[in-house]
C-alpha cells in the first residue's frame, strides 16, 4: 500500500488529507478531512482530478487590431484534457464585441463544459 498527501481546496479549512491507496491505486482509507466534502474531494482527486482552466484567446477588434481576451472554463473538467484544450485555444480568434460569459467554445472536447469569456471587450 502507498499513501498520498493532499490539501483539500473545497472549503476554507484547507485540511491535510491522507489517502491510503491499494496496489491498483484506488483509495482505501481517507483521513484528516474535517468535513464530508474533504473525503469526496480526495476520492475525486485520486481517480480523476478536475480543474477550471484559465487562458486567453486572440480578440479581433472592430478596428481590425488584435488583442487578448481572457477566457475560462464554465466548470471544472478532467485535468487530463487541459493540454488538448490549451492547444485548441491557441488557434481561436474571437471577434469583438464580446460580453462576459459569452461562449467561446461549446462543450469543449465533449466534457459538457464551455469555454467562456471572462470580461467584456
- pLDDT tens digits along 72-102: 999 999 999 999 999 999 999 999 999 999 9
Q: Are residues 30 and 74 in the same domain?
A: no
Q: Are residues 62 and 108 in the same domain?
A: yes
Q: Are residues 70 and 104 in the same domain?
A: yes
Which among 51, 50, 9, 49 is positioned nearest to 27, based on CA atoms? 49
Model confidence, pTM: 0.84
Give the total number of structural domains in the chain. Answer: 2
Q: Are residues 43 and 58 in the same domain?
A: no
Q: Are residues 63 and 89 in the same domain?
A: yes
Q: Which residues of the chain have pLDDT under 50?
A: none
Look up residue 40 and give its three cell numbers: 469526496
Q: Are residues 9 and 42 in the same domain?
A: yes
Q: Maximum Cα–Cα distance for the chain, whole Å? A: 61
Q: Are residues 74 and 93 in the same domain?
A: yes
Structural domain of residue 37, as residue ranges?
2-47
How many other β-carbons are positioned within 10 Å of the β-carbon of residue 84? 11
Amino acid at each position: 500500500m502507498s499513501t498520498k498527501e493532499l490539501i483539500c481546496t473545497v472549503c476554507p479549512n484547507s485540511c491535510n488529507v491522507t489517502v491510503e491507496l491499494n496496489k491498483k491505486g484506488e483509495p482505501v482509507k481517507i483521513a484528516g478531512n474535517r468535513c464530508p466534502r474533504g473525503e469526496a474531494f480526495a476520492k475525486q482527486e485520486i481517480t480523476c482530478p478536475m480543474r477550471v482552466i484559465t487562458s486567453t484567446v486572440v480578440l479581433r477588434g472592430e478596428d481590425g487590431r488584435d488583442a487578448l481576451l481572457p477566457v475560462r472554463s464554465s466548470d471544472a473538467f478532467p485535468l487530463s484534457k487541459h493540454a488538448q484544450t490549451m492547444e485548441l485555444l491557441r488557434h481561436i480568434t474571437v471577434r469583438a464585441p464580446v460580453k462576459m460569459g459569452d461562449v467561446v467554445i461549446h462543450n469543449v472536447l465533449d466534457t459538457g463544459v464551455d469555454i467562456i469569456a471572462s470580461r467584456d471587450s
